[in-house]
Structure formats: C-alpha cells, structure tokens
C-alpha cells in the first residue's frame, strides 16, 4: 500500500511516495514561477500548482503498482488567498503568505477592530500575510473581483478541490486565515462580518487526517490510479512538517529552515501569549500548537549566496567558517518584513558591525546567526508562557547544513535532533493519508512508528554563553532601527 505526500511550496511542489512502513520510495519536485507585480507583492497562478502536481504524480508512480496507491495528503504554504467564482474558476492570481500589500488593512484590524478583539475571536492578531487582510484589500482595491467570490480557499485546499471536487480545508491551515475561532474549531461569525464574507463562501472544515473524498474518476483514469484513492484534508506546511518530524502530542518542538523559518511547539491544550507575538493554531494531530514564524530564513542564505556572492556552492562558503561565537558582524534577517514577534511588514534586512577587516566568511556566518537569533526571539516568548524545552527537531532545506544546525543548537541552547527523513511537509502529508486510510489509529501512533531520530547535535556550554551575550546585543538592533524602516 502506497501513500502520496504533497508539499506545495513557494518555489516548487515536492511529492513523495511512502509505503505503510514509512519507507520513501521516490521523491520528485516540479518548479513553478513566482510573480512580483509590485514591490512587496507576491503572487502565483493556482493552475500552475495543479498542473505541476499532476506531472509530479505521473512521474512519482511510474514503474510502481499504481493500484496500490491508497491515499493522498497535502501540506502546503499557508495564508495564501485563492478565490473562485461561481463556476469554480480562479478569479485572480493567488496572493501569497509573503505578500506585504495589506499594511493598511492589517493596521485597521489591529488598531480599529483591536488586537484584543481579534484575539478573542480567533486567538490571533492580524499579520500582513494572513488571509483576512487580503480579503479586505480585495474589497477595497478590486471590488469587481471581490463581488465574484463564490469560494475562498487556501493554496493546498485548491489542490484538494481539483483532486476530489470537495471545497475543504483543515483546522491547522484555517487557523492562519484570521477567520477561524481556533479554540472552538469553527468559523468566527464576528470575523466573517468584519471581512464581509458569508459562511457558504468558506470551505468545509476537517481534521487534517480525515478523508474529504476520493479521487475524481476522470482524473483517476487519466493518472492510472484507483478512483477509491482517499484525499485527506492535509495541513498547513508547518503543521505537516511537524507531523513529518514527529512533533505531535505535548511539549515537543520543531524548527523549520525553509524559505520562511518557524519554531513550532505542540501542545494538548489551547493557549495564547499575552501580546500575540506567537501564532496560536490548531495542530494536525487534533490538538493545538504555538508557532513563531519569520518570513525569511533559508531565503536569506539563498539571497546572500546566489544574488550577492553569485555562487550556488553553499558548502564551500560555509566550510571556511570555524570561529563560532566570536563574530562581531550581525545580520537582521528581514528581507520581506517580519512576522513573529515584531509584526512589521516594513522591517528590512541589514548588516551591522562591519569594519575594514570584515571578511566574506564573517558576513556569511552573520546571515546564518541572524536567522538563529530571530528564531530565538520566538523561543523567548514561548519561555515567558512557561514552556520549557531541552531539545528540538529540525527540517527544511537549511537543515542540510551541519554548521547551521550547530549554530542553532548553541544560540537556542537546545539539543537538535536529526531524523531519518527530512522531507518535512511531504512526509507529513503522506503520514496523514496513512492515518486517513486506517493504517494507524492516530497521528501520534503514526509518528511513533514511522519517525526515527538518527543523530543529535548537543549545545556546547562555552558557545551557549558566548551566543547569549551576542543575542543580548542582537535584541537591541530592531528597536533602534524600527523608526528608520
């Protein structure tokens, strides 16, 4: 029996084929374009996601017994606004999670409606990348398009709809729309009124591991799969990645070093921090989680390597770095603004502390350290809630760097566990599909049986102390520069 996991990312869709023992038989990736029609805007064409996904499924299942594919689960980029008309046609390009056009609408929600009110209705406050501010932007700037909206969807849910014909979403992804009452797991009537949308425009809610339907017969025939293949609701990329790393149940942590970066803390109980610096979302295991999200993590390293240094040999640049904890160059990783904990779409990246003898290696090291310091910002908020952590798991493209993992272990004073597979959201999607097909009784059981830790990086007391002093200085930079942004 096989399960397909889909990771609908910002630059590509990545698919994997997993069996019921957790063995990954094949992984394929298909890229698609990203559009920046105006400064600070970020869009994609949902049809590109669908077409590339079908290409990926064909390649993924080539040479295997296709009738053995039992389920498909998707983890996907969160917060994106996909709008369909009455004929289920895409009205306009999807507005993505890292789009910063909604500063005015975000300020309206946070200042006029009020953060306390938003937190009461949804357990969260407004961030520029969230879905609700985008709906307000559409109403103000594209009223002719807004009037046509029959269905409001999230990116991965558009895929699920095209595969199953069901307008659906899951609680983890819906948590990032600012339309869901997270604590009670239902659409917030108050937020629907504020955003001028009706409940029939919103997708049906499911737990991440629940089957929403089966593969459309026509599509099944086209792909050579059974029309009994179950499509499960799936999860937002961070919740799916957490499942894929076994970060389920109570008090577990996962750090994701993807295009964006997150620190994800699972919990059996619902909780909100006083300043809403962290997101309080539903989790794919049926419970809840706290999450700090930075908009540019591995994206910072990619920008530095490819756009500035003009190289793709990341390893060669990092192998010359050997003096951890002694760098006097700092980097603020706010290339696309920042979410947790600053909630400032105007924040920008910068280097601080350079001198005539600053080297290329020190600046590369500063980029890696700056991302780690920014992740620690969110960890400190979690600590203020009484969360006590001693270790974390890690995934994402950036997690392939041993040096970066060493830096994170020491900056955050956490043991960093590497798991056998670092496929993140794709693996999580396949695991959710296996639960939905009845192979496992729960997400926790699936994680316990399929996720294996293979190595651990331990923090070094001397480096932890050095990085603690550097972090104290890092904390002062954003407040000092905020007025200039």
Which residues are the active-site residues?
237
Question: Is 79 assigned to a binding site?
Answer: yes
Least Cα distance to 181 among 145, 205, 154, 157 occurs for 205
Cβ atoms 427, 18 nearer than 8 A: yes
What are φ and ψ of residue 378, in 5° steps? Answer: -75, -35
Q: Report which secondary-structure segment, H or E, holds 315.
A: helix 314-318
Least Cα distance to 286 among 398, 390, 380, 210 occurs for 210
Least Cα distance to 187 among 247, 263, 281, 121 occurs for 121
Q: What length is written for the chain? A: 485
Q: Give the position of tokens 């409001």.
A: 152
What are φ and ψ of residue 243, in 5° steps? Answer: -60, -45
d(C-alpha 75, C-alpha 67), whole Å? 23
d(C-alpha 139, C-alpha 63), whole Å? 48
Cis bond leading into 341, ω under 30°? yes
- Cα angle value 433/434/436 (rounded, 5°): 60
d(C-alpha 426, C-alpha 241), whole Å? 7
Strand partners, 305: none
Question: Is 275 assigned to a binding site?
Answer: no
Q: Compute the half-sphere exposure of residue 323: CA atoms within 13 Å on the CB side of its CA.
A: 9
d(C-alpha 414, C-alpha 382), whole Å? 14
- Report which DSSP code applies to 9: -
Strands 288-294 and 253-257: unpaired
Three-class HEC string of 185-230? CEECHHHHHHHCCCHHHCCEEECCCCEEEECCHHHHHHHCCCCCCE
Q: Give the position of tokens 């504020």.
A: 194
Between the alpha carbon of residue 251 and those of residues 64, 288, 390, 454, the distances in Å are: 39, 11, 10, 20
How far, rounded to the nearest angstrom, does the alpha carbon of residue 110 sit from its chain's CA centroid? Answer: 23
Q: Which residues 6+ apart lie within 8 Å of 355 measured at CB?
A: 328
d(C-alpha 107, C-alpha 223), whole Å? 46
Least Cα distance to 336 among 293, 379, 279 occurs for 293
Which residues are annotated as part of the binding site?
Answer: 78-79
């Amino acid at each position: 029996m096989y399960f397909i996991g889909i990771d609908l990312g910002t630059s590509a869709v990545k698919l994997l084929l997993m069996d019921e023992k957790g063995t990954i038989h094949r992984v394929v990736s298909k890229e698609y374009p990203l559009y920046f029609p105006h400064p600070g805007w970020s869009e994609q064409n949902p049809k590109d996601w669908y077409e590339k996904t079908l290409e990926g499924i064909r390649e993924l299942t080539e040479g295997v017994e296709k009738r053995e594919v039992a389920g498909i689960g998707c983890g996907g980029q969160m917060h994106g606004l996909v709008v369909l008309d009455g004929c289920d046609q895409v009205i306009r390009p999807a507005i993505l999670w890292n789009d910063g056009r909604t500063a005015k609408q975000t300020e309206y929600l946070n200042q006029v409606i009020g953060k306390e009110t938003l937190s009461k209705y949804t357990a969260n406050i407004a961030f520029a990348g969230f879905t609700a501010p985008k709906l307000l932007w559409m109403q103000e700037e594209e009223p002719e398009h807004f009037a046509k909206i029959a269905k409001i969807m999230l990116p991965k849910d558009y895929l699920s709809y095209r595969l199953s014909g069901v307008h659906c979403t899951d609680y983890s992804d819906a948590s990032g729309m600012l339309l869901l009452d997270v604590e009670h797991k239902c659409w917030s009537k108050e937020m629907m009124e504020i955003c001028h949308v009706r409940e029939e425009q919103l997708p049906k809610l499911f737990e991440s591991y629940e089957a929403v339907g089966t593969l459309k017969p026509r599509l099944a025939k086209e792909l050579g799969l059974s029309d009994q293949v179950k499509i499960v609701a799936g999860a937002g990329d961070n919740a799916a990645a957490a499942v894929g790393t076994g970060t389920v149940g109570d008090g577990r942590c996962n750090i994701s070093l993807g295009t964006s970066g997150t620190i994800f803390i699972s919990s059996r109980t619902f909780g909100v921090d006083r300043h809403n610096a962290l997101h309080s979302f539903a989790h794919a295991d049926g419970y809840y989680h706290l999450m700090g999200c930075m908009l540019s993590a591995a994206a910072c390293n990619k920008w530095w390597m490819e756009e500035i240094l003009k190289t793709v040999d990341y390893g060669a640049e990092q192998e010359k770095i050997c003096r951890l904890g002694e760098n006097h160059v700092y980097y603020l990783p706010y290339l696309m603004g920042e979410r947790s904990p600053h909630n400032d779409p105007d924040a920008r990246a910068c280097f601080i502390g350079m001198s005539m003898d600053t080297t290329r290696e020190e600046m590369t090291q500063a980029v890696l350290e700056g991302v780690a310091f920014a992740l620690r910002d969110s960890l400190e908020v979690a600590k203020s809630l009484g969360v006590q952590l001693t270790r974390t798991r890690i995934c994402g493209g950036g997690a392939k760097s041993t040096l970066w993992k060493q830096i994170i272990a020491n900056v955050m004073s956490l043991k960093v566990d590497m798991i056998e597979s670092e496929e993140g959201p794709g693996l999580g999607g396949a695991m959710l599909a296996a639960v939905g097909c009845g192979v496992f009784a729960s997400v926790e059981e699936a994680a316990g049986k399929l996720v294996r830790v293979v190595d651990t990086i331990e923090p070094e007391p001397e480096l932890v102390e050095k990085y603690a002093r550097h972090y104290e200085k890092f904390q002062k930079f954003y407040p000092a520069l905020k007025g200039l942004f």
